Each structure stands twice: as C-alpha cells, then as structure tokens.
Chain A
C-alpha cells in the first residue's frame, strides 16, 4: 500500500471527527457564554428592575391623579392662557401707541423717545390731551403693567417689537460704553492736571493757570460722570423693558414646568427601566441586554462598592480593602422613599413574599435607612458598604458564595431547598446570622453604651449592649480579660480589672504603652471575711451559692458535671474546707463601729428606714415589697449568715454605716446614716436597719444567726494525698516524702514564688494548719476566686481564663469540643422528665389554686410526678408561667438535683421533690425544630427559644464558635464528658456555672462573637471627644453607680390625641416679659404637635406630646366617659401656635391617650413618693416629691460643673426636706469629672468651666449706673441695695441666709429650703433668675413660691424702700446678691437677727 494519507488515516473519518469536534467546540463556547451570562444575580436584578418600574409607574399615577396637583396644573394652564393673551394684547397696544406717536411727529425718523415728547404733554392739561389723543391706549398699557413708570412705558412704545427692544438695549449699552471710554480719557486728563498742579507747587510755578486747567478738567469729568449715570440708568431701563411685557408669561410657564417636573422625571425614570414596548427606547434596551453586547454597557451588571479605608485580613496573611458586590442582588437596599419628607423610610419595605406593599429579600430596602446606608445617616453606603457590619464574602454574587448564614436550622433547610445553600467552610468570615447582626457594631463602637442609650436613634443595638452589660455585671472579665488595647492603640471594647494596688496603678500610669483597666472586681472583698462569717457558712456558701441565695450572681464551682465521680467526691469537700480555712486565717482585722453604748436598735423602725433611706434602691428584701431591685444582692437572709452576737451585728452596722471601711473600692456607697436626735429621741438608722436585717429583738449582743453550718470534716489522709499530689509538680519524689514526713519545706520562703510559700511560712503554725493553708491557697489559685474577690496575697495574681478580645475570630480547631456530641445525645438538657402546660383560670379553679400560677404536669414520665401536679417553685424561686419554668430550669445545673415545690391534690407538698434535671439535648432540638417548622409554637418567645437552641446545637455539632460558647455557658463542665477518666485531676475544667438563661447566653454570644480585635482605621472608630464623648463616659458611669435608680434622667413622655380648641394658651400678661424671654432661653419652646393623628370616637385628632408627670390616672369607679388623665407638662410647649408655660395641666379623656413612655430612671423616687403619701409622712404628692430624690431634668442648665464635681466627690446636704441623702460613692476624681461634664453635655451647655458674668466689674458697673440713674437719692451701691433685698423678711422665712438660721418649728413638717450660701457656687445665674421669677416653671411640685411676681394695679406695694418696690428690679437684685454672696458677706457682713415685727405696724414692710 502506498504510504499516502489513506494509509495513515481515513480522511472521511477525520472529516467527521473534525466536524464533530468543531461542533463540540462551538457548543461548548456557546454553553460557556450562556453560563457566563446566566448568572444567578441577573434574575434578581430583573425582578428588582421590575419592582422599581412598578413603583415609579404607581407613583406617577398617584401624582397625576392627585387632586391638588390636578387643580394646580389646571390653574397654571389657565393662567398661562391668560398671560399669553395679555402679552398679545400688550404688544398690540404697544404697536398702536407706537403708530400714534409716529403720527404725532412725522418729522422724526420713526422714533419717539420720552425726551422728544414736549414737556407740556407730560403733565397738566396738555398731558390730558396727549392721553386723549392716544385714546386710552396708554392707560390700558399702564394698567397691564402696574408699577411701571410712565417713562418706561413710553420707552416701550418706542420699541414695539421684541427685536427692537433688544436692539434698544444694545444701543443703550453701546452708548454707555462709548461714554465710559471718553469719561476715562477725561479722568486721565484731570489726573494729569492734578499732577501738574502738584509739581507746580514744588517748582514754584504760576499756579493760576495750573489751577484753572485742573478745575476745567475736573468740571468736565463731573459733568460726564452725571451723564454716565444717566446712561447707565437708561441701559437698565432698556433691559427692564425687555422683561416687562412677557414677564408674567415667563413666570407662569416656569411654574407649570416645575409643577410637572417631578412627574416628568418619574415618568422618564420608569421609561428608562421598562420602556413601552415597540418604542425605540425599548429596542435600545433589549439590544443592550443581548449576551456579549451586554458586556459593554448593560443596565444589568454587577454593582460594587469599594471601601479602601475598611480592610480585613484575608486568610490570615494580608490586609485587603473591602470590595462588596452585595448590591448586585440587593439592588434596592439603599433606595429611600422620596415621597415621604418627614422621616427616612425605605422605598421597598421588607416583608414576606406575597405581603401587600412588602418586598422579600433581596428586593427590599434596608429597614433602617435613617441609621444605615442613607446619605444623611451616620453610616452612608459609599463609606461603609455592607460586609463591615454583616461579614460574608463581599465579592460573592450567589447566595452560597456570599456566605449567607441562616438564622436557624429551619431556615437553613429552606435555603438548602430553594438556593442549594450549603455551609461554605472555606470562607473564614461567613455572614453573621440575624441573631448576631449587632455583633459588628462593637468593632467601631468600642464604648458600647451609645448603642443602648442614644438620644437621636434610641437603643440601636440592644442585644449586644445586653451582652456587654451581663459580662460587666457577672464579672466575666475577672478571669477572661477583654483588652481593648494593643499597646495604646484601641482595638475593641475594653473590659479589664483595674490595678489592684496603688503601685501597680502608678507603674501603668508611667508607661506610655499601657492603659490601665477600669473595672472593679464584682464580688465582695474577702479581706476581712473573718469579722463577717464563720468557716461553716463560707464552706456552705462556696459549695453551692444558690442554695443559700437563689438569686445570687456568684457562679457554682462544685457539684457540676465533671465532679460526680468518686475522686471529686473525696477531694472537693477537702478543697472547700481548705479554701475557707485559708480565707478565714488570712483575714485581716477590721476596725468595726458600734452604736452608742446602750442603744437599743428598733427593727420595726429599721424596716421603714430600709425603705426610706434608699437601701431598696439596690437591694430587695421580702419584707419590703414593691421594687424589684437587682443591683445589689437580695438581703432577706442576712440574719442566717453572719457571725453570732455583737461581732456579726457590729460588722453589719459598720458595713451599713461606713462601707469603705470594709473595702475602699466597694460599690456600696456611704449613705450618711448618722445618728439623729438627742436623748430619748436619738435614732441610729444604721443600727435600726441592721436590727431589721438581722431580725434582732434585743441588744446587739443577743444576735443569734437563724441557721448553723457544719464545718466539713477533713480526713488527714485525703489532705495529705492532695498536698502530695500538688507538691509532686514542683518537687522531686524524695523531696516530697521529706516534706510530708518532717513538715519542713526544702527551700527558704524567700525563694519560693508559688503557693508553696504557705508550707514554708510560719514555723510557729503546726504542719496541718500549714497544709490546709497551702491547699486552700492552691485551690483559690486554681479556681481564680480572686478574679471577683479581693483576697489577701492575691493582689498580683493574673486572670486564669482565656483572654477574649479576639475570640470572635478564634481558630475553630483550637476549641476543645471533646465528646460534646455524645454528651448532648443523652444529656445536656435540664428537664424534669415531664411535659407541662400553662395553668389557666379554669385549671386553677379545678386544681384549687388561689390564682393561675405555676405550670401543670400534663404528662409525667418519671414516677416522682403525677399528672395534674402543679410546679409552683424551682429551687426556691416562684414559677408563675411557662417562661419562668423554662428560665429557672435553664439556670439549674444539668445532672444535679433540683428542688421542685409541687401543688398536689389541693395543697402544697410539705417538702419539695428532689429530682435530677437531666434529659437529652438532641431530643429537645429535634422536637423543637419539627414543631417550629410546622408552625406549632404559637408563642413567638417560645418559638425563638427553640429555634435559637437548634441554631446553637447545629453550630456546636459543626464545631462552630457560637455553639461552643453557648454550651460552655450553659454547662461549662460538659466538655469533660468521658474525659475525666483519662485526664489528671487538676487538668479538669474549672469554669464555673453561671445562672444565665438561654436568652442571656444568646446576648453574651452576640457580644463575644463581635470581639474580633480588628480595629478599623481611625476615621471609622467611634470614640468622640467633646460633648459627645462626655455623654458616652457619663452614661457608663450612670450605669456603674446606678444613678438612674433614684433619679429620673428623662421624664415620662405623654402622648394623646388633643382637641386643640380646648387648649388655652398661658397668660403672658401676668408675667414679666423678661421672665418669659429667659424661660425661652433656658427651656426652648418645644413643638408639641407630632404630626400624627389619633382617631377617637370617629374623630381624627392631632397627637401632641410633652415631657411631664401624670398626676392623676383614670378612676376605674368613674363611668368610661368620665375617665380621664391629668398630667403636668414640664416642657415649654407650642401647641398649634399657642404657647404653654411649663406646669400647664393637660386634662384629657382616657380614650384619647396614645401612650405614655415611662421615665428613664427614677423608679425609686416614684415608689418612695407613693409610700410617703400612703403612710402620711407627706400630706401631698408634691410634698412627697420634695422628700425624694429629685429628677435630674435639664440639670446641665442648673448647676455649675465645678460645683457638681465637688458635690459628687463629697456630697453635702443641700435640701432639708428630703428623707434621705445623696450618698457618697467611692468615685475617683476622673469619674466625678466625667459625670459632672455629662450633665452639662447632655443639655448642650458649656463645660467644664462657666463664666459668671454677674460677678464681673462690667456687669456690676452697668447695674450701678442704671441704679443711680433710676434712684438718684440713693447713696449706696447696687449690690448693697441687693443685699438689703436678700435680707428682707422674705427669703429668711424658709432659707438660712447671711448668717441667720431659719426658724424651725418641727423638723419633720417644716419646709426648709437650701441654705442660700450654697447658691453662689452651685447655681448658674440664668437658672437662678428664672427660678426666682417662677420656681414652678422649673420644678412644678416645689413649695417655693414666686417671691416677687408682677402685681395687679392697686395691689399693696412690696418693700417700697428697696428699688422703689419694683418687683422686676427686686427679683434681679436677689439673683445678683446670691451670685455675689461671698463678696457681700465680706463687705456687708452678717445681718443681725431682725427685730420682731410689730403687729401694730400695719401696712408697713416688716
């Protein structure tokens, strides 16, 4: 065979192969292009475009159909027609006039100007003739252009057509510029003449000629200047003539265009997105969308936002700028509804698919455009993008690629079905699920508090704030430091302990690269423990704190999951005993106080004092119900824990009276509970309160605790075993043997660094004591007790837990999940083995319960329970609802015994049922998911609870961080499941169990997940200075010192639908105008109208709102028609044009109420007022308010910041009416400064310094001058006269002033005002003056009357010899005397007591 082609291959076959592969390549190419084109996002964009077009069309329809618009357009069109006609008429009239002019003077070349008309035609008889001649044309023209001068009209008549007029303008302008040129020349000539003249003087020439030359030149210039001005005017007139005829038409045309512009724009926008089919526009758009071509300039395209300032770490290697393509699918996310002008709202409100007017994701707008993305929001889209808050893969353009994260497994399943969603493990920063959406806020908002309290936006991220607060309250940072600093650079929220010792604080202050922590230890100091409790109680408490106090925040360290084996059973009691041994033997002596000898404390009085002296602000006690304060511990059982006899009493007495003796950094304030009265009436409030708390009936020495505790047995063998075990870690076997045998430690104390120092120290102590101390100290070190408590010898100890500042990005492989999955299969859920349901009224009656409370056992799986048992309490805490039941169970320790109080067969079982709370977590989750996805759970709280549990469980089984954290907080030791068998005893987990509910854990997780220690660039960090910074710092301190429990910081806000007719404006005639002006300055008028409406009985009423207090609530005994609210406004209001002073009363029917937003803070004050009225301490609520902590409303306008600083540091007595005093908090100088600044900053006033102008010579000189001008015969100065006023028999009635003490009849009932000496340093002058004008404008309930208000004609004059009895001058002088008080005391001195007024001196001014 020839070696031709066919020998090698078959061409035919080859052609087929070639053809086939070519086709294949073509198809592949087409498929490739198609695949490239057919992106997921295109579907979303098309639909989004469609929604946008629909919305635009709908708006166009609405706007066009709008009656007002329609009417307006009609009106304008009519106007246009009219204007057109008018213009035409005018032009015709002009033309006519022009022709008449031409007739008058044919000699002229077709032009008549005003000047050409003979003077006699302009005025007088001839003018009349001229007008007649024009047959009224002229008048017609004049009437058409009102305001135009005759001359202008005549000019018009000269140029009847527009082109002529334009030309006339040109001519006038030319004339003007030509003239100017000549004028300039003349000016130059004059200047030359002047220069020559000057030179002539120098050269002694003949001045006459020179002078004449200059004068001539000057007069020429002058003449021409006048002419030039005239020409200029002519140009202007010519220009005016251009506009005068067509002006009206132009105007109306413009208006019409403007009216239709909005619709036109909308129409154009809609047509651009969805052009009408068949049009050129539609064709163009369809062409742009053709594959391949669309690559050039298609409306459908990925939309990206690039934020170079916001970087993130990619794969732990390099920092890259964020590049978000989220808007590719979420196209309408930042579209603002521009039809609403009053607020910022999204054009596409979010909602479920199918809901009318709502749009599902990804088509909806952001739900809060006012705060996020909007151009005016603090987080504008171009600057922030999306992923800095939401995380996820910004470059991804599919649901899965963008790393969306479902909020719960139910949602996850739906996504998997709808979007083929799967968990993308390869993106390290998946999007935060909805439950964690607030977590990112703390990246920039490192101070956190502004996310909870925000004047403008309200609480914007309440959950992360809650998590932050829980960590602060429970003191997690004692073991787990959360450092907000890398060196001195801010990287996140800072939660760290403050330096324990002064030396440490000084050292940190010196180091520029260190910032000291700020938080105090949350537990009580144990430094003086021996003076408070004995070893039995300490052991009892430590083993299981909630056994003694169910509400305690102290976590449980023992009797947990990994301590149920024999080894723990043997060791734990010994460890506990050793710990209490250590704490009590190392306890330092406390100098206690005692009540005076022989004082018999009165427990009953103590109970009242406990309420009125403010103890209930922070503490609850079962005998003083009403306020559920949780700030401090519950105190119902104090009598069961203290040491017996006088020791225990004195400790408590000292603690109540001078808490700082026990611990200088305690949060418990000094309450100034000093003894009052003398002799038989002597009352020692601290002793009485102590007696109340101790249930003491006799003398302090009689105190006997109501409970005794056994000190645990410590078998020597176990003690030795443990000591040996721990010693083996630092010594050799033979050394240990020697120590245990001889009791001698091989090293001297000076070289021992660890806890072993206890074995070496104190040779005088026997070896067993030393062993106990060693084991105790070792145990405290191991469990980190010092993280919360101040313990001797642990001042320098470091936190034992993992630092959490970057836990949110912790590598998941470094989390020890161990056998958690297996554990949760069988355990992990605190259940009682019963199925329960709610007890409703019917069930309560059937079960003979007094009221629906507790939960009913519907199905009992365990023998301990029976159907129809009602669980009324768990571990001593009442169960009132299903929510309580779930919450209390959550707080219990899984696997340990729970005491369940049960109502059975119509009575309560004598002793609670003890049952192990333990069921399978998996079962719960499976049950929860299936019920949630079926929609069986109707209660949204319960639904979220189950979904949340399922989410965390899912996360846990997939080794997610949130799941790990969740289980760690629920059951910290469960990670030791089946590992304790193989690990060393001291390797066991030590994290204690905190009494958190699942909701609380969710909040804490939100905060911790957000701790990523990725500081944004400085421009993003929100750490403002100035007033904003002062507010943030202040809010933090207010929380820390619980200020708002006593004081109202914001008054309640009352809103109701008002009948505006019935509201009468305040009578301004009865006030000094100066007083009203000052009121407006200090309390700017607030617009009370909200713009919202409320329909009451078929009538639509405008809702008004104001800050104030409700003085009377609807009386249920009244008929529904008569039920009404009475409220006092504290604001200066403007209600639809009527101005109402503060204190105005609003009385309105109950049905009109919209809502009352409760006050911010002041719950105690409100409670105390009610109590004081109820027990008749106060006759009226107003008087009771004067006995209670005052609202701090607009405090910044009232007090001087430096004074407030001093007051906070050391609060002296101001008011004498109060039943309690402002306590002294252990506040540092910087805290006090920050708080003082806060009050000024929130009210927008100057801080930290204020100028007191009324003390300056400028002011006083002015006043002196004015005074002497008005009162010529007065010899003394203005201030002297003012001092007289202040010392007149007016203020002294209630205030001590100028060294004179106010007379007191009965200290209990007398209203005694603050000592006026305080005013100068304390009060701001403006505020003081307003107070003197009208005290109840500032504090409606005050007893202080207006001292010198305007008088009616004929009234009896007041103090006529001072300032001539002028009330206004007198009032101002009072203020000035107060402001200059110290100076006047110095110069004028104490005023000797007044001579007794003589009753005979009627009509005088005593």
Chain B
C-alpha cells in the first residue's frame, strides 16, 4: 500500500510548527533562560496548536482541530494566570506565598501537559490526532519536546519565589487555578467546547 499523499498546506504547517517547536524548546533550554523560558514554552505551545491544524488539513476527519482548540484553551488559561503576577523578581528575604508558588507550578504543569491540568488532555488529543494521520515522527518530536521542557521547569520552579499575589489578583488566580485543575480532572466541558469550535470551523 502506498503511503498517503501529504497536501501542500499540511506540509507547510508541519514544517513551520516543527521548526517553531525546535527553536522554542532549544531557547527555553538555555542555562540563563530561567525568566524567559516560560515565554519560549508558550511559543512552543503555539507550535503544538499548529501541529493540530496541520493534522486537520491532512485528514478532515481527524481530531486535529479539536486538539488545537483544546491546546489553545490550555495555553490561554496559563497565560491568564501568568498575567496575574506583579512584574519584578521577589527578593530573597520575601516570604514564600503558597498561592503564588502554586500558581507558578500550575502554569508550568499545564504548559508541559502534566496532570491534573487541562494541558494533559490537550497533549493527549494532539498526540492522538498526529498518530491518526500517520505522523508518528511528529508525535515523537512533540513528546520529546514536552520531555525536554521539564528541565527549564525544574530551574524556574526551583528559583526564587514569585512576588505574593494580593487582593483581586489573588482571587482571580484562585479561580483560574481551580478552572485549570477541574478541567484536568473532569475534562468533558473543555472537550465539548473544543468540539464546538471544530464543528464551527468545519461548517464555515
């Protein structure tokens, strides 16, 4: 049986996504990139979204669009949580605040696709969609990048504690953390939302 023909848009999307993922992961792995590594991981997550779109371009029946939407949802929640931080590093003497440290850990967990966060389900859907169109190599690359991403996470989480979150920012951070974890434990609402996006795009 001859291998399936890959469409030109799908090839373009895969190449762009693959390069973006490689560059972002390598940049995040630099030893001095503790503060910027989360930014590079966000860019890498965009690459995962592109992979999902590429899978959808290759095979309309695949779950690629849904995986991309799910990945985007996980990314959006992580970025919203990240925006609650005050700019500037905390001093060594500043007391460690449990909420701020937890928020930082949850951002990393969801970006890396570690449960119990919604990012886990986004990653599983993405790997499945890549495998369903026969792109095992791209799935392996995506998993390897997720494995490599844990190294900057170890540096970042082990670094100085972030500034404490206060007032409305603290309340909002609690809500977003709860949302990320609840959707990680019970992912059906997120999956349904992603499915809705997929249907809208397909019907459009």
Query: Do they bind each other?
Result: no
Residues on A lying within 8 angstroms of B by beta carbon are none
